[in-house]
Amino acid sequence: MPQATHTDRPGYSTRWLGLLFIGISLLVISLDNTILNVALPSISTDLGASASDLQWIVDAYVLVFAALLLTMGSIGDRIGRKRALQFGLVMFGIGSLWAALATSTEMLIAARAFLGIGGATIMPATLSIISATFPREERSQAIAIWAAIFGLGVGVGPVVGGLLLEQFEWNAVFFVNLPVVVIALIGGAFFLADSKDEHAPKPDIVGVLLSVPGLFALIYGIIEAGLGEWTDPHVLIAFGIATLLLAIFTWWESRIPNPMLPLHFFRNMSFTGANIAMTFIMFSLFGSIFFLSQYLQTVQGYTALEAGLRMVPLAATLAVVSASSARISRRLGTKRTVAFGILISAGGLLFMSQQYGVDTPYSTVVWGEIILAAGMGFAVSPATDSIMGSVPVSKAGIGSAMNDTTRQLGGALGVAVLGTIMNGRYLDGIESIKAALPQLKPEIFDGISSSIQAAHMIASRPEVPAPFAQTITGIADQAFVMGMNDAMLFGAAVMVVNALLVLLILPSRIRAPREEAHQREGYDEELSHAAVMGD
């Protein structure tokens, strides 16, 4: 009877081959944003995109993706997770072709928003298929591989983008998605089985209408706060709308019999504690990568490809440690493994905040990358497994969507909050340019104040004398590094607090959802009855 419960799982016989194509589906999403960042200068030149346009090319995807995750996870549970994955891949392929053929910034922004719909459909489906396919004793290893692939894609993106841009135009970073999508579609068709919630309730239309604009407003507010001021009127309005809509969403979900997001999931600390941990893990990971790419390219002078290659150790360490974290978690337990990983990451950020300077050799830089990534690798997979193991398989799409939403929320917060800290220190630091170069025009200083990249562009102008250029870049580089160090030190403090929270609220072993616990009790009673009757 126990064997039957395994072999009856959809796609059980081809589960490991299926995981390969789930990984390929995931890879196309994790590559997308980091590979695009490398192409932004070329897009700006070719399409005449302003700084604001470039921001929207990036953020249109993030906003739509984050806002639709819960809805698409719920739809996947209802219509079938394989079907949702295949549908999402088709949409992602169409969106990639649309983006590659874009002839204006408006067309490219619209294509990126469409890609966000495809991504929001794909990502919850990948993790929920794993939960529905793999038995409990294999699920943690499968999720560890899932986490490793995601981390590898994030880190390898700049390298792939740099290689493509050396040979082709910027369109290539979107065209490259098409063969990956085709492979994922064909492999998934043969080796993945469909599964869904057989007792899915009627669609929660009100929940969708509240959650989508609420999450959109929340992420929009965070992104805009990171680019401007947290007290800007449009930022405060966005946060106000988000608070109102998400509060009404919570009230609605607690009142209806069949909610889109069952709030009783949050009573299980394996679910709540892991989601909190994941939010702040992504806070530090995305925030630090945001600084690291700028540090390597602008301050240390590497090209986009050279900088991407120098971030490969971070991606490789994250992938290798994530893949092996399941074994560590089985020995130490979820609580200790996640806390241990977070503390290692805090140590990595502390190391970076103290050792990274304007002229720091790469041999020192790489140690910071490795320590940070090793800690993330230990923590991410067990935290993800805790989230997925604490929700019923019938609601795996919602569990996966919640995991993905906290990733996006934490990442956006990290870039915004740590970016604000860095920018404040940068602005303080470049004030000394006024004293060193009193003849500098106010509009030139305003340009230097906008970013470290603008400072270098102004210094490289032919009309700027060489001594002036050296003064501008020297002070701007030092100001940026000081701001980055302060931000990473703050990130380290956040991770220490995160580790303490994990130790306080995350259970040592994953607590099964009450539905599965009741099923297990019934199964144990069946076995006992069979033993007494001599069956």
Q: What is the 3-state secondary structure (H, E, C) of 303-356?
A: CHHHHHHHCHHHHHHHHHHHHHHHHHHHHHCHHHHHHHHHHHHHHHHHHHHHHC
**More confidently predicted of 293 and 491:** 491
Q: Is residue 518 part of a domain?
A: no
What DSSP state is assigned to residue 232? -
Residues 181 and 251 reside in one and the same domain: no
- Token match 């030092």: residue? 478
Length of the chain: 535
Q: Is residue 38 part of a domain?
A: yes
pLDDT of 54-113, one tens digit each?
A: 777 877 888 888 888 888 888 887 888 888 999 999 999 999 999 999 888 889 989 999
pLDDT of 184-198, one tens digit each?
A: 999 988 888 877 766
Residues 468 and 365 reside in one and the same domain: yes
Average pLDDT value for residue range 274-279 = 89
Highest mean pLDDT among 221-230, 240-249, 380-389, 428-437: 240-249
Angular region, 302: left φ>0, alpha ψ -120 to 50, beta rest: beta
Residues 155 and 43 reside in one and the same domain: yes
Residues 223 and 303 reside in one and the same domain: no
Cβ(30)–Cβ(126) under 8 Å? no
Q: Is residue 368 part of a domain?
A: yes
Residues 139 and 214 reside in one and the same domain: no
What CATH number corresponds to the domain at position 20?
1.20.1250.20
Q: Is residue 534 part of a domain?
A: no
DSSP assignment of 71-133 equals HHHHHHHHH-HHHHHHHHHHHHHHHHHHHHT--SHHHHHHHHHHHHHHHHHHHHHHHHHHHHH
What DSSP state is assigned to residue 510? P
pLDDT given at position 527: 35
Q: Is residue 264 part of a domain?
A: no
Residues 141 and 70 reside in one and the same domain: yes
Nearest of 469, 203, 141, 146 to residue 328 by alpha carbon = 141
The alpha carbon torsion through 294, 295, 297, 302 (nearest 10 deg) reads: -160
By 3-state DSSP, what share of the chain in percent is helix, strand and coil, each rounded to 5?
Answer: 85, 0, 15
Nearest of 119, 143, 144 to residue 130 by alpha carbon = 143
Three-state DSSP class for residue 302: coil
Cβ(334)–Cβ(506) under 8 Å? yes
Residues 121 and 222 reside in one and the same domain: no
Rg over CA atoms, the chain: 24
Asked if residue 331 has pLDDT above 70, the reply is: yes
Q: How far apart are CA 128 and CA 332, in angstroms?
A: 25
Residues 52 and 193 reside in one and the same domain: yes
455 — phi, psi (to 5°)?
Answer: -60, -45
What DSSP state is assigned to residue 518? H
Residues 493 and 432 reside in one and the same domain: yes
Give the domain extent around 431: 269-509
- Cα three-residue angle 466-469-475, rounded to 5 degrees: 140
| Start-to-end CA span in the chain (Å) | 12
- Cα three-residue angle 234-99-184, rounded to 5 degrees: 115
- Token match 């805009």: residue? 224
pTM of the model: 0.81
pLDDT given at position 404: 81
Weakest mean pLDDT among 115-124, 225-234, 440-449: 440-449
Q: Is residue 283 part of a domain?
A: yes
Q: How far apart are CA 406 and CA 126, in angstroms?
A: 16
pLDDT of 137-174, one tens digit each?
A: 787 888 888 888 887 777 777 788 878 877 888 888 88
Q: Is residue 531 part of a domain?
A: no
pLDDT given at position 50: 65
Q: How far apart are CA 348 and CA 336, in angstroms?
A: 18
Domain count, the chain: 3
Residues 147 and 95 reside in one and the same domain: yes
Residues 236 and 357 reside in one and the same domain: no
Average pLDDT value for residue range 377-386 = 87
Residues 230 and 167 reside in one and the same domain: no
Q: Is residue 535 part of a domain?
A: no
